[in-house]
Every structure is written in structure tokens, then in C-alpha cells.
């Protein structure tokens, strides 16, 4: 049973470009969470999605960031017009049911570097 998969593992963008990060949850998991880890810091919650629905986006920056989890295909975290401060590791986690009753399992992350 494959774990949570994320791609790309490393992404380099210039300021002003768009970054698209993809996450495929574990098989049988319909709940996806995105977290951001800045250098030398802990992980910070960004957004929680179920298939076709955003459940909690309280951790998402108000501008330039969006997330989706379509009926078919991976979850996408999209960052428009990236700035240097967006450089971080972005982790996706999944769970089979609502997260507060379930362990969340993490993918390997996407490391975004904005030049």
C-alpha cells in the first residue's frame, strides 16, 4: 500500500511565477491536509480538504494561495506570483476519516525555492 505521494519533490521558481504542488493521498483516504514548514520551524496547518470540498482553510494566506481536491486526481496546492517568503517545505497528509479522530500520515514534502 503506497503511502502519501507528493510531487515534485523539489521545485524552483522565480519571483512572480506560479507553483503547483500535487498530493496523492494514501489509498482509501479521502481527507487531505496541507502544512507548511519554514526553515528551522515546526509545521503550520494551511488547509483541510475532502473530495471536492474545502473544510477548513483557516491557515491559508488570504491572497495568492489556493487548494483543491477534485473528484478525480490529486490534491493541488497552488501559489500564484510566488515571493521569496514562500520558500519552504510543503507537506501533505491524509487520513481515512475526519482528522480529529484519526492519525494523519505525511508525504515526503515538496521543497519550494523561490529565487
Partner 1 sequence: GESVGLHLPTLSVQEGDNSIINCAYSNSASDYFIWYKQESGKGPQFIIDIRSNMDKRQGQRVTVLLNKTVKHLSLQIAATQPGDSAVYFCAENLGKLIFGQGTELSVKP
The site for partner 1 (CB under 8 A) is made up of 4, 6, 33, 35, 41-45, 48, 55-56, 58-59, 91, 93, 98-101, 103-109
Q: Which is nearer to partner 1, 57 or 68 (CB)?
A: 57
Q: Which is nearer to partner 1, 48 or 69 (CB)?
A: 48
Using CA atoms of 92, 109, 25, 14 in order, give the dihedral in degrees to the nearest 10. 80
Q: Rounded to an integer, what distance in angstroms lies between the CA atom of residue 98 and that of residue 84? A: 34
In whole angstroms, the minimum distance from the beta carbon of 10 to partner 1 comes to: 10
Q: Rounded to an integer, what distance in angstroms lies between the CA atom of residue 78 and that of residue 66? A: 5
Amino acid at each position: 500500500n503506497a503511502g502519501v505521494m507528493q510531487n515534485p519533490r523539489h521545485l524552483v521558481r522565480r519571483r512572480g511565477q506560479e507553483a503547483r504542488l500535487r498530493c496523492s493521498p494514501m489509498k482509501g483516504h479521502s481527507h487531505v491536509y496541507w502544512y507548511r514548514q519554514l526553515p528551522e520551524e515546526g509545521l503550520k496547518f494551511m488547509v483541510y480538504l475532502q473530495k471536492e470540498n474545502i473544510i477548513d482553510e483557516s491557515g491559508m494566506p488570504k491572497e495568492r494561495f489556493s487548494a483543491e481536491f477534485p473528484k478525480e486526481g490529486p490534491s493541488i496546492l497552488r501559489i500564484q506570483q510566488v515571493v521569496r517568503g514562500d520558500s519552504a517545505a510543503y507537506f501533505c497528509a491524509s487520513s481515512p476519516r475526519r482528522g480529529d479522530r484519526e492519525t494523519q500520515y505525511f508525504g515526503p514534502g515538496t521543497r519550494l525555492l523561490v529565487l
